Amino acid sequence: MSNTRMKLMIDLQRIEKEHYQLREGERTQDFLTLMLQFIGDPQPELRDELIYPTLYKWIYEENWFTETELSTLLEILTDEHHLFYHIGSEGDQSVFTRTFSVLPVALIVRLHSRKPFLDYAEFQNLKHSLLRYYKEEKDLRGYLPEGGWAHGASHGADALLELVKCPESDTAVQLEVLAAIEGMLHNGKQIFSDEDDERIASIVDTMIEEGLLPQQEIADWISGLTKCGDWPRSYVQTIARVNSKNFLRSLYFRRGQGSRGNVLAAVILAAETKLNKFATGRH
């Protein structure tokens, strides 16, 4: 273990013990550069238990960064060394850098959605980066026995959830996000087993709850998810069908008793039935 990495671990353990407060003479920037360097460390102790919780506290709870610093941090997190580090590769440790770069991006976007500070160009870059990431991430493993959580589909969904709530996210952006979700559900590689469908359902649930998109648009998109049920039989088709079915179940139960019996609930149920080959007797 390098001396730099060991010192960072010791410093962050001490900061955690001291409730994420810094000592006299210390600045967040003193630690931030190294935290960004080791953000995708293959060991979960540093990546998942020290670096991310510290970023969460400092960015979101303590609000220690100025708007300019947050914009700069966002630019770094979405660059080729972080969010797009070895994008498209599968089965290696680079996934941790990507998936743990998108988590703090979600925090910054949440702050922006509440009190906007990104200019037009910065928001467009952010939107483009998140949609590109969700399309190009090919390593969709959830929990790894060696290394802990990767969870790209879930972490990316957390950021897209914050994106759709931004005041700049008009109908066009909402529809782009729905297309990205469909691409993730129909990914051709992975049937999700680590509750990614729940994190993805949060996005559409929020669109419905907050009226971010006309209900007819959402209903049409949900019905469109069932097209994969008519594809030729293959494992790619099974992945698309099962992921879509599980997503629709998550969304239906998330909507709760109050929404039962309305038009959208009926559309969700009809789509689930079409994708459920056991319900339709096609197995």
Give the Cα separation of 26 and 94 in Å (integer): 31
Residue 281 pLDDT > 70, yes or no? no
Determine the 3-state secondary structure of 182 from DSSP. Answer: helix
To the nearest whole number, what is the mean pLDDT of the chain?
A: 96
- pLDDT of the residue at 1: 60
End-to-end Cα separation, the chain, in angstroms: 53
pLDDT digits (tens, 9 = 90+) for 84-134: 999 999 999 999 999 999 999 999 999 999 999 999 999 999 999 999 999
- pLDDT of the residue at 279: 83
Concatenate the DSSP letters of all residues of 117-163 into one string: ---HHHHHHHHHHHHHHHHH------EETTTEE--HHHHHHHHHHHH
pLDDT digits (tens, 9 = 90+) for 155-181: 999 999 999 999 999 999 999 999 999
Residue 282 pLDDT > 70, yes or no? no
Give the Cα separation of 213 and 181 in Å (integer): 15
Residues in CB range of 105: below 8 A, 6 or more apart: 74, 77, 78, 83, 126, 129, 130, 159
Distance of CA 111 to the CA centre of its chain: 16
pLDDT digits (tens, 9 = 90+) for 64-93: 999 999 999 999 999 999 999 999 999 999
Tokens of 165: 């709530």
Percentage of the chain modeled with pLDDT above 90: 94
Tokens of 27: 């600045």
What band does 283 get if pLDDT is binned at 50, 70 and 90? low
What band does 277 get if pLDDT is binned at 50, 70 and 90? confident
In this structure, the strands spanning 148-149 and 143-144 are antiparallel
- pLDDT of the residue at 82: 98
Quick one: residue 87, left, alpha or beta (phi over 0 = left, psi -120 to 50 = alpha)? Answer: beta
Q: Read off the pLDDT of each residue in 124-148 and give the average, rounded to a whole number.
A: 97
